[in-house]
């Protein structure tokens, strides 16, 4: 019996999973694009046995790719040793992780939690502890989905159903002029993404970070940088703020530091590290030894294998490959290292991502006209070449479809 004849294959087909999941998953969860069963390096396989090159890495999470031996060993070893102790106690991996984050970031104190949105909640509390009422954030930025982080998120459509949210938050255009106009001595913090990942990987204007540092310092406001997507080596620096040569007051981390194990952190610098007082904040799972040991192993492997430099090298190769594609659809490439956004001349990102998936490549339509790329940091020249081949084919297919559609729309004999 071939696999296509087997009833068990029918039972595990993508459609069947989708239908079953749709019955039980909260309606806020979208239908899965594919149902994945396993991964290895930068490749994953779905229930139908189809192989994909993964250029999304669980949205900038799987820094070491899938099933990396260092990740597997750390989870297994720590699970077999001691997994959880609560905040009444501590374990060596937790202390080691806090020390490692202090060393890598240049910060002073670390609050460990379980996700990006929780790191942002801690950032909100830090800002509130200044005693000042206003928090500035940027339009089109994303900071998470719990209500404090959502209040910071600069996407009105996401906030609207849940208002009233945290008061005192103002969203500014991402220009130095807008910041100069808005900032004052009553501002607790400016919160920003150094590269707007969820918006489709958009750069801030050149010198924005330096100006933001200067203006916040002048007014005694905190500069809080959300490195949840950009951090942990992805941009070709350990943390994106480092490329601007500034020192922030706090950075939020998650995603890539755990390499697939849920974890988040807020790292505070200098005087900001003293703002939270005993009892101000906590978390049952935050600093859990299992998560901490895994993050230690992931960050140590990024250091050992030179993956920050690799992100820079492969990122340059990727950017050149994309800009070299003979496609009229591509307008720009923004971002840095292995967090890149490809701008499209038309709002067809979904079609490009869908076609790429059919051809065996996972990329993400982060905005209607932007494709986000966030592959594992371990990719080599082979994966870049394979990506370029499939992505160019997907673009060409969509361009052909668009040309055919516009030919259909043009009445015969009329000028095109
Ligand atoms: C920049 C940024 N901030 C915050 C978050 C929220 O993180 P999480 O989904 O882990 O809560 C994300 C997630 O995509 C993000 O990209």
Query: For 193-220, how does the pLDDT look when each residue is reduced to its tens digit (9 = 90+)?
Result: 999 999 999 999 999 999 999 999 999 9
CATH number of 69-304: 3.40.640.10
**Domain covering 33-62+307-409, topology:** 3.90.1150
Ligand 1 mean position, distance from CA 264 (Å): 10
Q: Where are the alpha helices (DSSP H) in 324-378?
A: 349-358
Mutation probe of ligand 1 site: the residue of 142, 146, 266 with most atoms within 8 A of C-beta:
142
Which pLDDT tens digit goes with each residue over 46-93? 999 999 999 999 999 999 999 999 999 999 999 999 999 998 999 999
pLDDT bin (cut points 50, 70, 90) of residue 410 is confident
pLDDT of 414 above 70: no
Ligand 1 pocket test, candidate residues 28, 116, 231, most atoms within 8 A of CB: 116
Q: Residues with beta carbon inside 6 Å of ligand 1?
A: 59, 115-117, 120, 142-144, 193, 197-198, 226, 228-229, 254
DSSP per residue, 300-325? HHHHHTTHHHHHHHHHHHHHHHHHTS
Q: Which residues contact 63 (CB under 8 A, 6 or more apart)?
A: 57, 232, 233, 234, 256, 257, 259, 298, 302, 307, 376, 377, 378
Q: Which residue has the higher pLDDT, 124 or 14?
A: 124
CA-closest residue to ligand 1 atom 9: 116
Residue whose CA is at the smallest distance from ligand 1 atom 7: 116
Q: What is the mean pLDDT of residues 260-267?
A: 98
Distance CA 246, CA 211 (A): 10
Please give the model's pTM, rounded to 2 decimal places: 0.95
Helix (H), strand (E) counts: the chain: 14, 17
- From the CA of 110, how far away is ligand 1's center (Å)? 18
Residues 211-240: what's their mean pLDDT? 98
Q: What is the mean pLDDT of the chain?
A: 95
Q: How far is CA 249 from CA 222, 261, 291, in A?
A: 6, 26, 25
Rounded distance from Cα 60 to ligand 1 centre (Å) = 10
Alpha-carbon torsion (95, 252, 62, 282), positive or negative: positive
Q: How far apart are CA 416 and CA 131, in angstroms?
A: 62
Does 254 have pLDDT greater than 70? yes
Q: Which residues are catalytic?
A: 142, 226, 255
3 state SS for 111-168 = EEECCHHHHHHHHHHHHHCCCCCEEEEECCCCCCCCHHHHHHCCCHHHHHHHCCCCCC
Euclidean distance between CA atoms 255 and 291, whole angstroms: 12
| Domain ranges in the chain with CATH number 3.90.1150.10 | 33-62+307-409
Note the pLDDT of residue 11: 62
> Is the bond into 164 cis (omega within 30 degrees of 0)?
yes
What's the confidence (pLDDT) of residue 409? 81
| Residues of the chain above pLDDT 70, percent | 96
Given pLDDT bands bounded at 50, 70 and 90, which one contains residue 2? very low
Question: In the chain, where does the domain assigned CATH 3.40.640.10 lie?
Answer: 69-304
Q: Which pLDDT belongs to residue 301?
A: 98
Helix, strand or coil, per DSSP, at residue 54: strand
Q: pLDDT band at 13, cuts 50/70/90?
A: confident
* Ligand 1 centroid distance, CA of 87 (Å): 24
């Amino acid at each position: 019996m071939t696999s296509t004849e087997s009833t068990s294959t029918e039972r595990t087909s993508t459609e069947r999973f989708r239908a079953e999941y749709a019955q039980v998953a909260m309606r806020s969860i979208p239908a899965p694009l594919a149902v994945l069963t396993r991964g290895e390096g930068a490749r994953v396989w779905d229930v139908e046995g189809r192989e994909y090159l993964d250029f999304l890495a669980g949205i900038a999470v799987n820094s070491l790719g899938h099933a990396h031996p260092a990740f597997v060993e750390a989870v297994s070893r720590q699970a077999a040793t001691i997994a959880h102790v609560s905040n009444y106690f501590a374990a060596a991996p937790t202390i080691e992780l806090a020390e490692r984050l202090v060393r890598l970031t240049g910060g002073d104190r670390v609050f460990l939690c379980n996700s990006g949105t929780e790191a942002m909640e801690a950032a909100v509390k830090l800002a509130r502890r200044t005693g000042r009422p206003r928090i500035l954030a940027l339009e089109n930025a994303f900071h998470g989905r719990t209500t404090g982080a959502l209040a910071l998120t600069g996407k009105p459509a996401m906030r609207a159903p849940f208002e009233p949210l945290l008061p005192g938050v103002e969203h500014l255009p991402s220009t130095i002029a807008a910041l100069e106009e808005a900032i004052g001595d009553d501002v607790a913090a400016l919160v920003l993404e150094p590269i707007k990942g969820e918006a489709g990987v958009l750069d801030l204007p050149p010198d924005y970070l330096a100006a933001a540092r200067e203006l916040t310092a002048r007014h005694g406001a905190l500069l809080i940088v959300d490195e949840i997507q950009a951090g942990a080596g992805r941009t070709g620096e350990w943390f994106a703020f480092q490329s601007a040569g500034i020192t922030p007051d706090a950075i939020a981390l998650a995603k890539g530091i755990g390499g697939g194990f849920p974890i988040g952190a807020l790292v505070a610098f200098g005087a900001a590290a003293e703002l939270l007082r005993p009892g101000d904040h906590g978390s049952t799972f935050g600093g859990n030894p299992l998560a901490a040991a895994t993050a230690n192993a992931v960050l140590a492997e990024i250091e050992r294998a030179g993956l920050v430099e690799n992100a820079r090298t492969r990122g340059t190769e990727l950017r050149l490959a994309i800009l070299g594609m003979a496609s009229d659809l591509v307008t720009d490439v923004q971002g840095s290292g292995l967090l890149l956004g490809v701008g499209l001349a038309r709002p067809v990102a979904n079609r490009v991502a869908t076609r790429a998936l059919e051809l065996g490549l996972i990329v993400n339509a982060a905005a209607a006209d932007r494709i986000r790329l966030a592959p594992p940091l371990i990719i080599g020249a082979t994966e870049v070449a394979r990506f370029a081949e499939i992505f160019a084919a997907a673009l060409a297919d969509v361009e052909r479809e668009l040309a055919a559609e516009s030919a259909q729309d043009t009445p015969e004999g009329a000028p095109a």
